[in-house]
Amino acid sequence: MTTTVELTRFRVAPERTGELLAARPGMLAGFRTGRTGFLGARLVRLPGGEWLDIVEWRSPADLAASRAKGGDLPGIRAFFDLIDDLVSTEEGELT
């Protein structure tokens, strides 16, 4: 069995880092309850004010369905609203 991996790189203003980290549990809770196929996520702080969110999904279809929902739940929306700049998104397969 393979796992679909979503890699999202984004920027947040340094003064909002605390807010981002505080909003993270709510986002994860929203994914657990409102997203079929969500397996887990890791947030990586990169140099230069960038972040990398590594999210694992059961299938590409589950990832696509999640993307279609966007920030439909308050905890997810609160996290997304703190993102100042979306740098890149990629999808891959964990092997």
Nearest to 45 by CA among 75, 71, 21: 21
What is the per-residue pLDDT for 14? 94
Rounded mean pLDDT of 44-63? 96
Task: Report all structural domains of the chain as residue ranges with CATH numbers, in order of start.
Answer: 3-94 (3.30.70.100)
Please indicate whether residue 67 or residue 95 has the higher confidence score (pLDDT): 67
Residue 59 has pLDDT above 80, yes or no: yes
What is the per-residue pLDDT for 27? 98
What is the per-residue pLDDT for 95? 87
What is the per-residue pLDDT for 74? 97
Residue 93 has pLDDT above 90, yes or no: yes
Cα 45 vs. chain centroid, distance in angstroms?
A: 13
